[in-house]
Structure 1
Amino acid sequence: MFDFVDPETGARGFQTMLSMRDGTRLNTFVFRPADGERFPVILQRTPYGIAKQDGSANHDVSQGWLPSTAEPLRGSILRGWKKITSRGYAAVYQDTRGRFGSEGEDRVYADDASDGWDTLAWISEQDWTNGRVGMSGSSAGATTTYAAASTKHPSLRAFWAQVGGSSIYDDVVCEGQSIEMERLWLWVAKNIPGLSASHREAARTRAGLSDAEMDDAAARAMARYNRLDAARIENPPFTSSEEWMRLPLSDYPDFAVWQPFLNEIITHPAPDEFRAAHNFRASIEIPGFHVTSWYDIFLTSVIAAFTEIQMRVGNQRLWIGPNDHYFIYEEQFWPRDPYFDWFGHWLKNEGSPLLNEPPVYFSPRAWTDDPQEYAADDWKYTDGWPLSEAVKKRLYLGVNGTISNDVSDDGARTYTYNPRKPVATYGGRNMAIDPGPKDQRLAESHPDYGLVYRCDPLNTAMTIAGPVSVDLHVSSNCLDTDFVAKLIEEKEDGEAALLMDGVTRAMLRNGTDRVQHLKSGEIVKLTIFLGHIYHTLEVGSCLRVDVTSSNFPRRARNTNSGNLILAKDGDKDIRVAQNTVHHGSGLPNVVNFWVLPA
């Protein structure tokens, strides 16, 4: 039965093509400990390959993925089968549908709930399992974990999900009802080589191309990826790149040929059944360990999963570290590695200190400029998020560009937003372009940047600890536009460090499928959610809120056309907007946040 016995550990492995309910077969590796017959199981499903990522050994279980000794915590698959089997678990790896050694078409998480259920059902029927299964994964592997957990299969007892999306469209792809572009474009292109033979054939047939033409499209897609990636070093970055600035977004050359589902991803601008089907956290009812970082693209999605499931059923844990999406793979990110403590408790009835600790553990430093020397020795415990001792604070944006405790005088401030000349992205919760608290002075040099509001220099340090939002009263001469808000620490030397940013698409400002076009002369209220943070502003710094209408390519440009599906808009649909923020006693513009008592 076994295709492989590891000479070092004695672990036994075999490969199988596991049939899903529609007959599609998914490439699956099973590794069992050297001794014993029935085991708890840790399942990991990934689109990034369960063997060599060059595709040369897709079905060879002896080449099953393992982390490098230099980076033992890196990978979508966590800890690796050797460590898992040495702890007395069976390890199951699976290529997701349409990826590497699996059949079917890759539809980017659309099938991961049902495929997850079918895989769990198969595991539960095997004579080598004791009926207790856990799931884990990082990034895309975390999203597939949330997806499977949402199905409530009775064998799945606990999960571990780090830096992944629990409601991938509402939180990430369509955050604020605006398309999150940088990750989509670079991620889709970079992952074309991992598409399986069956996916390739389905895409080739749909496009009506020959094999040679598909190869040419793949080569062009990689060349486009390289040009997109290189645009970060231009001055200004991104906005002079033909690849980034191309319209329409739909049917993007070569990318959409190889990954036709890209068109589906970007054409659900408002909440609908498609997006709701990807809200995996809504139905999860088992213990979960959630991990993210303050500048992770998935920060809000991970925190939302923890908060909602903890409120509903309890037994959740949330750890938040510093820096970006990828820092989580470094050993120094972690105060300790609780992976096997977590699964040991829920799958093997072992004692664990985790169950006696407060559920939230976080770094009070949102960013470190020296990650190699970082030491996770200052993390803090708390019973929930935001912190119970934090106090909600409201400050008003003034017509004269101030931030204060007082409601503004009457008046208005107007700026121009031309989609042909967007403001470039500098930092933030990015995944594929440079993240972090980048200096916004370069962005601010744009001739039509937008509006800046700042408070007086702080006399005492101020710690922001929790979610942040901005309420605005606005109007525009266009049927639709975006409003982007940035929270910034402006330091004494002039550096404008970006703490966080958010966006709201005006015609979908209520967060529903109800379209409310802007009308000439009409003032409307909208709220921009910026995310979560723990950060201490220094004495002498100013808290700053910037309001603009583009942050490109973190967000795709709103053409201001008023068309619901912006992904289909071309250059002819572009309108130049005059966007206005209105001030006065009846029109309060407010930044809402949580602070620790001084």
Structure 2
Amino acid sequence: MTSAAHDAASRPAWTPPKGKPPLSARILRATWRGLPAARHAVGREPGLEVPAADGSPLLTDHYFPRSPGDFPTLLVLSPYGRGVPWSPMYGVLFAEQGFHVVLQSCRGTGGSGGRFDLWRNEAADGHATVAWLREQPWFDGRLGTVGPSYLGYVQWALALDPPPELKAMAVQMGLHDPYDLFHADGVPRLENALAVGVGMTYQHQGTAAFARATLRLQRRLRAITGARPLRSGHLTTLAQEVPWLEDVLTHPDAEDPYWRGASTADAAERLTVPTSLVTGWHDTLADQTFAQYDRLRRAGCRTALLVGPWTHTSALQRGWPEVFTESLGWLRAQLCDDPSGLRSAPVRVHMGGANTWRELDDWPSSPAATTSWFPTTERHLTRQPPTGSAPVASFVHDPADPTPSLGGPLLSRTAGPRDNAALERRKDVVTFTGPALAEPVEILGPVSARLSVVTDTGHADVFARLCDVDAKGRSTNVCDGTARVRTTGRTPAAVTVPMSSTAHRFAAGHRIRWQISGGAHPRFARNPGTGEPALEATELSPVRITLHTDSVLLLPGTWPEVPADTP
């Protein structure tokens, strides 16, 4: 008798209950198209109480195939409730494909006991749930995890010390570093922080409560993000005190003891559990996904990566058929020994500007060289390095009228690629544009900028963006990033701005554009220009930012020679 057969024979008999998935889940499931056909009817055990690490009851719904036989188990731990959309997207869809699905509310959410404390209890509670699973008659020892966003964080937390039953992970648009979710080089990611606060506070209370809170945030966003001091503004949105939100925003230093133990990056550095990663080019957590992919590959862990033309939320909407199919194929391969759903290459990325998909052996596809582009006083981009350092452009950023954010990796419906024309007409935005391309050029990999700047107050932020300008002059954002600047006197300060990664094709006749400003508000909290912390400042000071010619835009890959015409 095989070990698996012996384990099955030794488990007590289990009689599936007669419960059905909730009507809302069945209705939503019926509306989806482009998904694999169901293999099994689905049953549900709702409201099971699983003891957390401290004994608090964690409310859990168990979805299962209504068919005889053993099936692997998927663990889905959520702070957003167990109703729509999680019940149909994870409970129903994966159960009908042949998995037990344990959909559980994190402590302090969705009716579970205890108090929710961002990131601090997930590892212990995950292990407590696995201990409970071992006692269930339907659990056959094959365990996988799946889920997006914070549901990805709980997967990484469990993987810090993976239980022996854990055989596969599918992390979708996943979080592993809470600090990076809320700050970029010390600059608060303000709009996303508010959206996370609303989601964590209200989504587990039901669709109606979450919708009302989201609309309230949209209506009051300008007043909230313009409040002085800023730290008091979120209270009018959330209508209740959320201590952890104020805590994360008022600790902008990554080395602050407050953040100790928050990141689960270490899990990927030693993991052997096969892991699938999914993100989108305009996902606010894309950089975290790329960082974990790199760690997993260096650790020798079996890994797959899918990057689509999505934002954090659209990946679970219009991108859901692709995301679901990717995760299903991976989990079935690792847990059911069925590799039929795996693609031939470990990496699949969507090429922006071309609307095509590309399969690669790795990401980036090779240790890419970089091509340097330099600004000129005529607002052009050139491949010719400057002979020295001299002022090339100067503009004033006024925090009382901050440069607005437009598109990019946000958690709101305004995320993604946008026409930047109105933004680029502002006096506090400078652009440098390259010549028209004689042939298409592709870039695949990380983009960054090294800026040489002087500020008159000594305190500023810089925001850098790569845009694709088409033959009609439409400028569309590709990727971007921000960094904090500290200067003394008239000596230029060198600052590196990570601008995320991309896979993008610039078509023949298009031009590359480098856009620079002093911020992107309210995506990032405005820099008051005074040296005060962004959340505490009550006084605002305009700051003049002067860019020097030895600044450089670094694009991955080797570019062909381009004509010397002017834009």
TM-score by length of 1: 0.79
Cα contact 1:290–1:318 (8 A) shared by 2: yes
Aligned to 1:394: 372
1:594/1:194 CA distance change after superposition, 3 Å: closer
Aligned to 1:193: 202
SS of corresponding position for 1:129 = coil
Moved more, 179-188 or 33-42: 33-42
- 2-side partners of 1:534 and 1:137: how far apart? 25
SS of corresponding position for 1:443 = helix
Moved more, 333-342 or 243-252: 333-342
Pairing 1:370-519 to 2, within 5 Å after superposition: 378-388=356-366, 391-408=369-386, 410-412=389-391, 413-447=393-427, 449-507=428-486, 518-519=487-488
Aligned to 1:114: 124
1:277 aligns with 2:261: yes
1:146 aligns with 2:124: no
- 2-side partners of 1:366 and 1:109: how far apart? 37
1:591 aligns with 2:565: no
Moved more, 422-431 or 392-401: 392-401
1:532-557 per-position Cα deviation (integer Å, ceiling 9, x unaligned): 11111122222111211110111111
- 2-side partners of 1:315 and 1:91: how far apart? 23
1:340 to 286, 310, 328: 328
- 2-side partners of 1:319 and 1:97: how far apart? 31
SS of corresponding position for 1:107 = coil
Aligned to 2:346: 359
Aligned AA for 2:422? L
- 1-side partners of 2:44 and 2:320: how far apart? 32
Residues matched between the structures, number: 518
Cα contact 2:397–2:544 (8 A) shared by 1: yes
Moved more, 416-425 or 320-329: 320-329
1:263 aligns with 2:263: no
TM-score by length of 2: 0.83
- 2-side partners of 1:136 and 1:224: how far apart? 27
Aligned to 1:296: 283
Q: How many Å apart are 1:31 and its aligned residue? A: 3.2
Cα contact 1:481–1:560 (8 A) shared by 2: yes
Aligned AA for 2:445? G
- 2-side partners of 1:225 and 1:477: how far apart? 39
Aligned to 1:549: 518
Cα contact 1:160–1:289 (8 A) shared by 2: yes
1:16/1:318 CA distance change after superposition, 3 Å: same
1:578 aligns with 2:560: no
Aligned to 1:212: none
Aligned to 1:242: 223
Aligned AA for 1:571? T
1:319-355 per-position Cα deviation (integer Å, ceiling 9, x unaligned): 111132233233686298233332222223334452x
Aligned to 1:229: 218
- 2-side partners of 1:332 and 1:40: how far apart? 22
Cα contact 1:135–1:158 (8 A) shared by 2: yes
SS of corresponding position for 2:126 = helix
1:253 to 235, 253, 263: 235
1:313 aligns with 2:300: yes
1:336/1:245 CA distance change after superposition, 3 Å: closer
Structure 1: gaps (5+ residues): 54-64, 68-74, 198-217, 232-237, 369-377, 508-517
Q: How many Å apart are 1:126 and its aligned residue? A: 3.3
Aligned AA for 1:521? R
2:496 to 495, 515, 527: 527
1:434/1:108 CA distance change after superposition, 3 Å: same
Q: How many Å apart are 1:281 and its aligned residue? A: 3.0
Cα contact 1:176–1:502 (8 A) shared by 2: no
- 1-side partners of 2:320 and 2:151: how far apart? 22
Give the fraction of aligned pairs with identical amino acids, expressed as a percent: 23
- 2-side partners of 1:174 and 1:153: how far apart? 32
Aligned to 1:133: 143
1:527/1:333 CA distance change after superposition, 3 Å: farther
1:95 to 98, 105, 112: 105
Structure 2: gaps (5+ residues): 1-13, 21-39, 561-567
- 2-side partners of 1:519 and 1:580: how far apart? 13
- 1-side partners of 2:462 and 2:123: how far apart? 34
Aligned AA for 1:570? A
1:548/1:179 CA distance change after superposition, 3 Å: same
1:23 to 52, 55, 64: 55
Q: How many Å apart are 1:391 and its aligned residue? A: 4.0
- 1-side partners of 2:492 and 2:469: how far apart? 30
Aligned to 1:566: 534
* CA RMSD between the two structures: 3.0
